[in-house]
Structure 1
Amino acid sequence: MDVVAVLPRLRMLLFPVGAAYLWRDGRELTLIDTGTADRAREIENALGDGELRRIGITHGHEDHAGSAAEL
């Protein structure tokens, strides 16, 4: 997974298939989409010292919602 700084508080998490976005508001993090079912550990590592408070899913395709249950 590659992490791309889009804005100071916004990161794009690029997977081999699909992407997710991580928004930081202080220590609170919002994740938009979760990638495929095998990406939860990578996403957790990308959280750093933040606390994941919200997950938004744009739609139900596997590459957008696959790791939602595990996270």
Structure 2
Amino acid sequence: MIDTPDQGRKPRAGKSGAGDSALEEARLRQQAIGVKLRHLFDEVVNEPVPDEFLEILRRADERKAGGDRT
């Protein structure tokens, strides 16, 4: 068996070449996805909570507070 170093391996970070540009491209892609996800979730977070849901939470808190006293 003949041993050939780095055959079929991706270049490591820090080495110059196509590996660096591919790594940078992947980072930029992940960053763009993160920006879009934050934008989408910011919209959801800023939506008002429906009154029915707030009532359910209020009742659950009351039940829990009542159960803690025993």
TM-score by length of structure 1 reads 0.20
**Structure with the higher strand share, 1 or 2:** 1
- The structure that has the greater radius of gyration is 2
**Structure with the higher helix share, 1 or 2:** 2
TM-score by length of structure 2 reads 0.20
Q: Which has the higher contact order (CA 8 A, sep 6+)?
A: 1
